[in-house]
Amino acid sequence: MARSLSQDLRDRVVSAIDGGLSCRAAAGRFGVSVSSAIRWRQLAREHGQAVAKPRGGDRHSARIEAQGAFIRELVTEQADMTLVEIQARLIERGTSVGIGTLHRFFARHGITRKKRMARPVCKGDFEVF
């Protein structure tokens, strides 16, 4: 993925356009695309400066987070429910998500689904309950 161009370059292109150059000429002088020069000039007019939008971050988990209360309710009702069963219940509600998405949801919220053994685990001579 390409990185954002520097704020200094954006300011110099906008200053050149304000100084009388056309967007096409300013883009050619500074080695940027004409569409970028036009967009930067428009941003500078609207907001005072052509600042780049924030990059990165999570853009996809909003759909599963909207179903968070329902997922927690399912796990509370039936603790041994598998991810495939939870996925099927979400599909019934009209939300199609993958198994990996469900796994990341549980990891993000610290919900463990580890099945415990019915008997105590022995460590050396001591039993741990």
Q: Each residue of 24-71: pLDDT tens digit?
A: 999 999 999 999 999 999 999 999 999 988 888 777 788 899 999 999
Does any domain span residue 67? yes
Does any domain span residue 98? yes
Does any domain span residue 69? yes
| Structural domain range at position 16 | 7-47
- Cα–Cα distance list, 7 to 21, 74, 81, 103 (Å): 19, 48, 51, 39
In this structure, the answer to whether residues 72 and 102 fall within a common structural domain is yes
Domain count, the chain: 2
Helix (H/G/I), strand (E/B), else coil: 122: strand
Does any domain span residue 19? yes
CA-to-CA distance for 26 and 49, rounded, in angstroms? 17
Does any domain span residue 2? no
Q: Whole-prediction pTM value? A: 0.50
Does any domain span residue 88? yes
Instruction: Let me know how long the chain is.
Output: 129
In this structure, the answer to whether residues 35 and 11 fall within a common structural domain is yes
Does any domain span residue 86? yes
pLDDT, tens digit, 9 for 90 and up, residues 64-96? 999 999 999 998 898 788 999 999 999 999 999
Does any domain span residue 127? no
